[in-house]
Amino acid sequence: MGNYKSRPPSSCSDEFKKKISEGYSLARSRLNDDVKQRSASWTPLQNAAFDGRADLFSSLLDDVEARAPHDLSLLHLIAAGHGAEQAGKLTVLFAACGTDDAKRRALLSHTTSHGFSALQLAIHKADVAVVSALLESGADPAFVGGPPALPALHIAAMAGSSPITRLLLRSGATVLATDSCQFTALHCAAYFGHESVMRELLSHGADPNMRGAVSDRPLHLAASKGAKAPVEALLEAGADPMLTDDEANSALHFAAKAGHTSVIQLLLQRSPAPAKLLSMRNMYGDTALHVSCYSGRLEASKALVAAGSAQFTSAENVFSETPLHAACTSGRSIELVAYLLRQPGVDPNFQGLDGHTPLHSACYHGHVAVVQFLLENGADQSLTARAEQRTVTTVGGLAFAARAESIPSGASLTPCSTNGATPGEEQLQTPVLWAYEKGHDRIVALLKHYANKQGNNDVCSEYSSGDSSYTPLPSPLGRLRSMTKEKADILQL
10: confidence class by pLDDT, cuts 50, 70, 90? confident
Residue 468: pLDDT above 60? no
Q: What is the arithmetic mean of pLDDT over 200-207?
A: 98
**Residues ≥6 apart with Cβ < 8 Å to 423:** none
| Across 155-164, 252-261, 448-457, least confident range | 448-457
pLDDT value of position 387? 65
Q: What is the arithmetic mean of pLDDT over 313-336?
A: 96
Q: What is the pLDDT of residues 395-445, one digit of tens each?
A: 344 444 444 333 333 433 333 333 444 445 457 899 999 999 999 999 999
The SS3 call for residue 109 is: helix
| DSSP annotation string for 195-261 | HHHHHHHHHTT--TT---TTS--HHHHHHHHT-HHHHHHHHHTT--TT---TT---HHHHHHHHT-H
Average pLDDT across the chain, whole number: 87
pLDDT value of position 476? 61
Q: Could you give the maximum distance between any two Cα atoms of the chain, in Å?
A: 100
Q: How far is CA 149 from the centre of its chain?
A: 23
- Give the Cα separation of 370 and 375 in Å (integer): 9
Residue 115: pLDDT above 90? yes
pTM, whole model, 2 decimals?
Answer: 0.84
455: confidence class by pLDDT, cuts 50, 70, 90? low
Q: What is the pLDDT of residues 116-169, one digit of tens each?
A: 999 999 999 999 999 999 999 999 999 998 787 899 999 999 999 999 999 999
Q: What is the pLDDT of residues 209-252, one digit of tens each?
A: 999 999 999 999 999 999 999 999 999 999 999 999 999 999 99
The DSSP secondary-structure symbol of 39 reads G
The SS3 call for residue 73 is: strand
Residue 391: pLDDT above 50? no
